[in-house]
Amino acid sequence: MQYQADRYHHPKEDILYHYYLAHYGENQSIKNLEQEHIELTQLTAEFADIVDMILLDSVIPQEIFLQKLYNFAMRQKAHLQLEEREIFPLLRRDFSPYDWRCVSEQYQDDIDDPLFGRKVADRYRNLHNYIDI
């Protein structure tokens, strides 16, 4: 979960956002997204830590786990909704075919992406098939 987002997903989005800001001017929502990605990485790591502790038979009070789960889910949902409702429509509206080509040329690790690259890793195959329907 964390590896995919940190290594492939958020860096791709950050390329889009930097390009937009450099070529289309300031947009506060886009400007805030890079910091939000950093915060989401930290939140995901904290949630993964508590899950790992439970898997190692540590006793974690249910209320603490549920609060961490709730915070994680709500923050992720808010982030995705912002991107889907505001940011991506803005990019689709403003970017020209040339802009999309320029951005895609900056994707260094696209081929190696285990979920969306040329060769889907076994551990991501079910998710890839579900998304790709």
Chain segment 78-104, per-residue pLDDT in tens: 998 999 999 999 999 999 999 999 998
**48/19 Cα distance (integer angstroms):** 31
What is the average pLDDT value for the chain, to the nearest integer? 84
The label of the residue with tokens 């690790």 reads 109
Q: Report the length, in residues, of the chain.
A: 133
Tell me the residue type at 19.
Y
With the CA atoms of 92, 95, 99 and 105 taken in that order, what torsion angle do they form, in degrees rounded to the nearest 10?
Answer: -20
Phi-psi label, residue 102: left if phi above 0, alpha if psi -120 to 50, beta otherwise: alpha
Q: Can you give the pLDDT at residue 29?
A: 86
Number of separate domains in the chain: 1
Give me the domain span that covers residue 45: 2-131
Instruction: Give me 58's structure tokens.
Output: 């540590």
Q: Which residue, among 91, 77, 94, 110, has the nearest Cα to 11 in the 3D structure? A: 110
Q: Which residue, among 96, 132, 107, has the nearest Cα to 9 in the 3D structure? A: 107
Q: Is the pLDDT of residue 123 over 90?
A: no
Helix (H) or strand (E) holding 121: none
0.85 exceeded by the pTM?
no
Chain segment 14-58, per-residue pLDDT in tens: 889 999 999 998 888 888 888 888 898 899 889 999 999 999 999
**Number of neighbouring beta carbons within 10 Å of residue 102:** 14
